Amino acid sequence: MVQFPEQFRWGTGTYSYQVEGAAHEDGRGESIWDRFCATPGTIVNNESGLVACDHYHRYAEDIALLKQLGVQMYHFSIAWPRIMPTGRGPVNQLGLDFYDRLVDALLEAGIEPFATLYHWDLPQALQDELGGWANRETAYAFAEYVDVVTKHFGSRIHNWLTLNEPAVTAFEGHEIGIHAPGARDVRLAWQTTHHFLLAHGLAVPIIRANGDEKTRVGITLNFTQLDPVSDTPEDVAATRFMDGKMHRWFLDPIFRGAYPADVVKHLGDYVPKTETGDAEIIARPLDFLGANYYTRSVIKHDPTAFSEYPSVDVEGVEHTEMDWEVYPRGIYNMLTRLHREYAVPRIYLVENGAAFADAVNPDDTVDDPRRIAYLREHLLQVHTAIAEGVPLAGYSVWALLDNFEWSEGYRMRFGIVYVDYPTQKRIMKASGHWYQKVIASNTVH
């Protein structure tokens, strides 16, 4: 049994496009994910977030679940298309009204809102008019949106995350093309990374100016344990590059003020175009870093590769439904690296969890022992990292609810609460009851 620090905070989360639904309600504008999902063949079973978990109407029921769990914090994202339906200019009061209801209900329940300002659902109008994140202008449009939102909520929301996983939306959305907007252009993808980072940096002082003495600002980055398939120089170099692409390309400009030289050299004339002063904007000091961790990838050299090296499957070890290796030591490695190499002032573990093939028993219970084992093993590694001095302030399990899992649609269930989509009935899984006990005792057995 391990005891977590007294002030340690426990949470869970969801994100707008994955749970809200009500895609055409109360003035919400179209997002690039609405458009992407409407393209046949992009999403498993041609599913979309048009209805999702109907959280827009059922938020009070979901907050009751948060209270039942006993969480102290709740991660959610604000949908830009609800606030500014065309991305810029007119503000949609009904959009603000929804998040007023959500935030006020969270505060009433004694739950700290942790709000992410962008979780991939760009207003489609900006994609049509500017070309989306390919255009530097979109970073400035983001800053305008952030000003509207933080002016409105700055006295009630004190923990802000500018972006979620810019690496994923940049590369899966613009290089690999399995995420919105579905581009497949290496040069474009790298250029969007700079515009995401610029947007982040532009947002930081705006959030602070519209907040108060309790306002804290961060960004959420995704981390994967990366190991070479062999110790050959080629496999080691391929792994080093992928660490650069997925991790250091974002960590270094934010915490060290410059892109990693080895990646810049590798990119050659694919390196993003920047402007004087961008580096200083991106490197504006943060109060904390949000970190997501799920799995390990074992990387193999490929002589034909330039911007993406393949990973190989590891036989004989447990995998989740996403075919992701269960590798708990990776969360320890990630946390201690952030502390050792980047001296991050404070860290919140924003997402950690697993998809398994959950099913409802005849008595309306859901047994998910593999998820409990996954969470337990990762939390034991988290505890070891904290014991070694890592300034981890809190942990959130992904996710509160089963939800729209992007290109995988609804077949992947990450929730500690089961969602029966045809009826929208919520059922706390065994892992939710287990997590409730972890929070109540602040210990993991």
One of 92, 162, 164, 320 touching ligand 8P2 (CB under 6 A): 164
- Closest to ligand 8P2 by CB, 18 or 239: 18
Binding site annotation covers 333? no
Q: Should residue 398 be labelled a site residue for ligand 8P2 when binding is judged by CB under 6 A? A: yes
- Locate 252 and state its tokens: 């270094």
Q: Does 405 bind ligand 8P2 (CB under 6 A)?
A: yes
Whole-Å CA distances, 12 to 111, 328, 400, 432: 11, 19, 6, 10
Which DSSP letter does residue 324 get?
-
Q: Which is nearer to ligand 8P2, 18 or 191 (CB)?
A: 18
CB of 113 to ligand 8P2, least distance (A): 17
Shortest approach of ligand 8P2 to residue 351 CB, angstroms?
A: 6
d(CA 163, CA 122): 12
Distances (CA, A) of 162 to 77, 100, 246: 10, 19, 18
For residue 241, state whether it binds ligand 8P2 (rule: CB under 6 A).
no
For residue 327, what are the contacts with CB-CB under 8 A and spacing of at least 6? 225, 295, 296, 317
Residue 348 binds to ligand 8P2 (criterion: CB under 6 A): no
Cβ burial, residue 25 (10 Å; 0-12/13-18/19+): middle
For ligand 8P2, the closer CB: 248 or 413: 413
Residue 212 burial (CB count, 10 A): 9
Question: Is 405 annotated as contributing to ligand binding?
Answer: yes
Is residue 414 involved in binding ligand 8P2 (CB under 6 A)?
yes
> Among residues 428, 417, 432, 431, which one has the least CA distance to residue 53?
417
Q: Judged by CB, which is closer to ligand 8P2: 235, or 405?
A: 405
Provide the CB-side half-sphere exposure for 322 (13 A, CA). 19
Question: Based on CB atoms, which residue is closest to ligand 8P2, 129 or 408?
Answer: 408
431 binds ligand 8P2 (CB under 6 A): no
Q: Which of 192, 225, 292, 333 binds ligand 8P2 (CB under 6 A)?
A: 292
Minimum distance between the CB of residue 335 and ligand 8P2, rounded to whole angstroms?
17
Task: Let me know if 165 is a catalytic residue.
Answer: yes
Q: Is 119 annotated as a binding residue?
A: yes
Is 172 a residue of the active site? no
Give the nearest distance from C-beta 398 to ligand 8P2 in angstroms.
Answer: 6
Q: Is 133 annotated as a binding residue?
A: no
Which of 47, 325, 351, 402 touches ligand 8P2 by CB under 6 A? Answer: 351
Identity of the amino acid at 115: A
293 part of the interface to ligand 8P2, by CB under 6 A: no
Query: What is the residue-wise DSSP string for 381-425?
Result: HHHHHHHTT--EEEEEES-SB----GGGTTS----SEEEETTTTE
Q: Which of 165, 172, 175, 325 is catalytic?
A: 165
Q: Do the beta carbons of residue 191 and residue 272 sit within 8 Å?
A: yes
Which 3-state string (H, E, C) describes 256-320?
A: CCCCCHHHHHHHHHHCCCCCCCHHHHHCCCCCEEEEEEEEEEEECCCCCCCCCCCEECCCCCCEC
Q: Is 442 annotated as a binding residue?
A: no
Least distance from ligand 8P2 to the Cβ atom of residue 18, Å: 6
Interaction between residue 435 and ligand 8P2 (CB under 6 A): no
Name the DSSP letter for residue 347.
E
- The tokens for 155 are 């006295």
Asked if residue 142 binds ligand 8P2 (CB under 6 A), the reply is no
Out of 20, 30, 325, 351, the active site residue is 351
Which segments are annotated as binding site for substrate?
Answer: 18, 119, 164, 294, 398, 405-406
Residues that bind ligand 8P2 (CB under 6 A): 15, 18, 164-165, 292, 351, 398, 405, 414
- Known catalytic residues are 165, 351
